[in-house]
Amino acid sequence: MSIVSQTQFLLRQEMSEFVCQNEGVWESCAYSRRSPFKDTPNEDAIGMIRVDDETAVFAVADGCGGMRGGEQASCIALQMLSESIERHDSGPDRLRVAILDGIEQANIAIQELKIGAACTIAVVECHRGTIRAYHVGDSMILVTGIRGRIRYQSVSHSPVGFAVESGMLCATEAMHHEDRHIVSNVVGDPRMRIEIGPSIALGQRDTVLIASDGLFDNLSIAEVVERIRKGKLPASLASLADLAHARMLGIENQPCKPDDLSVIAIRPDPSVRFV
């Protein structure tokens, strides 16, 4: 039984594009832009899958740079995810199975290209007032309250990410680290593993952020949280994107890593109350 009522992709975006939706019980705004210093395709991809009036799935896939077919891998990942969700029956328990199956099918399909392509993926399942995160690689998922308290932050599957989580590196040191580009877990690798986050009941003013590493390689967690935690969602995301782009251009004397950038920001509709 098909349960997907609306699916929207942002693929191979060359210029900045904002896509905002306010349907059902979720408000979302997405942005994708190619790295400012390259003329090859944007290897990031965004997927927004509305399942029903109370349920949606949002995903960011980031093709691995320096490898062939990065943009192809990210597109395949989102296509497999969408098709898997469409094949499964409705219900939050079945949706989790569909997401896991979609990522695993993408892993097989990308390997079958036999060109060494790979990507990372970060997925958030939203049902009523609850979310659950899934990720492979270093695209990050962050949940923050309006006062800036971080309720959830995924751990990047990378040597630097694990070093920060263990306390061996601080976040500032990580942004300057020479190995910050190395990823230890990707879609397209026979050893791929999927990390599943906890079920989180969102507050009415919480914000969920999904982003490729182009965001957190250029902005600190504090800078991201300060810009996304409050205000109208489109304006908050625009402020975040503008600062990231300025940082990539080297306008400020701060860590700089030009890269493709894709971000989705999600909030519960404030007019909806869950019981």
**Average confidence (pLDDT) over 46-60:** 92
CA gyration radius for the chain? 17
pLDDT of 240 reads 95
Share of the chain above pLDDT 90, in %: 65
Q: How many angstroms separate the CA atoms of 237 and 231, rounded?
A: 10
Averaged pLDDT for residues 238-256? 86
Q: Does residue 4 carry a pLDDT above 60? A: no
Instruction: Determine the pLDDT at residue 262.
Output: 95
Region 33-60: what's the mean pLDDT?
Answer: 92
Average model confidence (pLDDT) for the chain?
88
pLDDT, position 169? 63
Q: How far is CA 158 from CA 54, 139, 221, in A?
A: 34, 10, 17
> DSSP assignment of 159-218, as one string?
HHHHHHHHTSS-HHHHHH-TTTT--S--BTSTT---EE---EEPPTT-EEEEE-HHHHTT
Please, which pLDDT band fits residue 234 given cuts at 50, 70 and 90? very high
pLDDT digits (tens, 9 = 90+) for 137-194: 999 999 999 999 999 999 998 766 656 666 776 666 666 656 666 789 999 999 999 9
**What ranges do the domains of the chain cover?**
6-268
Q: Please, which pLDDT band fits residue 10 given cuts at 50, 70 and 90?
A: confident
pLDDT category, 5, cuts 50, 70, 90?
very low
Residue 222 neighbours by CB under 8 Å, 6+ apart: none
Distance set, CA 110 to CA 100, 114, 123 (Å): 16, 8, 18
Residue 3: pLDDT above 50? no
| pTM of this prediction exceeds 0.75 | yes
Q: How many CB atoms lie within 10 A of CB 271?
A: 9
* pLDDT over 90 at 8, yes or no: no
What CATH architecture applies to the domain 6-268?
4-Layer Sandwich (3.60)
Give the model's confidence band at 274: pLDDT under 50 very low, under 70 low, under 90 confident, else very high: low
